[in-house]
């Protein structure tokens, strides 16, 4: 699930809660998800302390005191749950699966901290990964990401440049191309295009200056709105009482194929772009 707003939400929560925590033990039933080898990563991690938590694109970056960065990618179905020794449990990423007891069968990595708190990495499909890298490899990894859509360096000019560069590509694919703009996935690409009134199939090069401006604004708006609401399917629960992320009711097209357009009432069309399900209103989006 997690796109930029979801990872941003987790990052904000974890930064507050885990600052200074020291790793005591790491356990995994799926060592394949670790780089370097689990046994090596585990040894390196134990004893190190969390100094900060960042986000770049959809990647969560946990900085420790030993020139060591713990990278976590949740991919499609990853979920992080932080359980403090005392107080509120926080969870983010893929919506909470039925079983609330932790660890459960989807828990593939457990990070124990010295103070008794625990971070669980759950992942139904096991696409997610954990990487432990030094500053140098971190920088190399980060080089591959395009501009952060919420940062100041993502300007209208920059956006137009990207559209020009990828003129024959379908606009939705360009929005989702992490090398161009990083952090936008299927949900927010679909939603931003709806608000801008642009068909996801439109070639990037055919987008006029006026449309580009509208799309540019809506990309930022949709992401910001979602962060305000803690993401699309972010879950936050106390004492096992689940509460869904509140962006879902605001979705205009994503996941609504075959239903009525909330703006004009036409049946929303479902198609496939670059192997990804795509929903749009053929009447509102040209």
Partner DNA sequence: CGGAGTGTTAGTCG
Partner DNA sequence: CCGACTAACACTCC
- C-beta neighbour count of 13 within 10 angstroms: 20
Alpha carbons 286 and 284: distance in angstroms, whole number? 7
Select 18 or 232, whichever has its Cβ closest to DNA: 232
Contact track, DNA, 75-104, x by CB under 7 A? xx-----------------xx--x------
| Cα 12 to Cα 25: distance, rounded to the nearest angstrom | 24
Interface stretch with DNA, choices 47-55, 79-87, 231-239, 259-267 (CB under 7 A) = 231-239
Tokens 């994503």, located at residue: 254
Segment 8 to 37, residues that bind DNA, using CB under 7 A = none
- Token readout for 180 is 């161009």
- Beta bridge partners, 276, equal 273
Strand, coil or helix: 33: helix
Q: Contacting DNA (CB under 7 A), which of 24, 276, 282, 283?
A: 276
Q: 């053929």: which residue's tokens?
A: 282
CB of residue 117 to DNA, shortest distance in Å:
25
Cβ-Cβ contacts under 8 Å for 228 (sequence gap 6 or more):
none
Q: Does 277 bind DNA (CB under 7 A)?
A: yes
Q: Which of 240, 249, 265, 275 binds DNA (CB under 7 A)?
A: 275
Secondary structure class of 29 (helix, strand, coil) = coil
- Closest contact distance (angstroms) between CB of 65 and DNA is 26
Q: Per CB under 7 A, does 224 bind DNA?
A: no
Instruction: Single out the residue of 15, 51, 126, 221 in contact with DNA (rule: CB under 7 A).
Output: 126
CA dihedral 272, 274, 280, 282 (to 10 degrees): -80
CA–CA separation, 192 and 194 (whole Å): 5
Query: What minimum distance in Å lies between the beta carbon of 204 and DNA?
Result: 8
Instruction: Annotate each residue in 233-252 with x if it binds DNA (CB under 7 A) or - if it does not, as one string.
Output: x-----------x-------
- Count how many residues are written for the chain: 286
- Specify the stretch interacting with DNA by CB under 7 A; choose among 12-20, 153-161, 170-178, 259-267: 170-178
Total binding residues for DNA by CB under 7 A? 39
Residue 39: CB atoms within 10 A of its CB come to 10
What residues act catalytically?
Answer: 2-3, 58, 276
2 binds DNA (CB under 7 A): yes
List the x/- string, 36-75, binding to DNA by CB under 7 A.
---------------------xxx-------------x-x
175-194: contacts with DNA (CB under 7 A): 176, 178, 185-187
At closest approach, how far in Å is the CB of 46 from DNA? 26
In this structure, which long-range contacts are made by residues 86-89, counting pairs with CB atoms below 8 Å and at least 24 apart in sequence?
A: 88/238, 89/237, 89/238
CA 22, CA 115: separation in Å to the nearest integer? 8
Number of neighbouring beta carbons within 10 Å of residue 152: 7
Site of interaction with DNA (CB under 7 A): 1-3, 6, 57-59, 73, 75-76, 94-95, 98, 105, 124-127, 144, 165-166, 168-170, 173, 176, 178, 185-187, 231-233, 245, 272, 274-277
């Amino acid at each position: 699930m997690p796109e930029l707003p979801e990872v941003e939400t987790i990052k904000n929560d974890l930064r507050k809660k885990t600052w200074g925590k020291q790793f005591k033990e790491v356990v995994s039933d799926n060592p394949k998800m670790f780089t370097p080898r689990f046994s090596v990563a585990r040894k390196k991690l134990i004893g190190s302390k969390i100094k900060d938590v960042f986000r770049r694109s959809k990647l969560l970056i946990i900085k420790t005191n030993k020139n060591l960065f713990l990278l976590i990618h949740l991919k499609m179905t990853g979920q992080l749950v932080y359980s403090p020794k005392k107080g509120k449990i926080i969870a983010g990423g893929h919506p909470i699966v039925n079983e609330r007891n932790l660890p459960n069968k989807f828990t593939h990595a457990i990070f124990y901290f010295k103070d008794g708190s625990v971070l669980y990495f759950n992942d139904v499909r096991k696409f997610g990964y954990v990487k432990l890298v030094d500053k140098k490899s971190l920088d190399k990894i980060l080089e591959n990401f395009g501009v952060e859509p919420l940062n100041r360096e993502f300007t209208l000019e920059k956006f137009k440049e990207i559209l020009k560069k990828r003129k024959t590509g379908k606009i939705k694919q360009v929005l989702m191309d992490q090398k161009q703009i990083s952090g936008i996935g299927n949900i927010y690409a679909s939603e931003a295009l709806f608000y801008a009134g642009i068909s996801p199939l439109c070639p990037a090069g055919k987008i006029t200056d006026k449309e580009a401006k509208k799309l540019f604004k809506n990309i930022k708006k949709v992401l910001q709105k979602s962060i305000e609401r803690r993401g699309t399917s972010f879950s936050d629960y106390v004492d096992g009482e689940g509460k869904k992320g509140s962006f879902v009711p605001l979705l205009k097209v994503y996941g609504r194929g075959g239903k009525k357009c909330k703006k004009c009432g036409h049946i929303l069309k479902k198609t496939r772009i670059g192997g990804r399900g795509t929903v749009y209103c053929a009447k509102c989006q040209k």
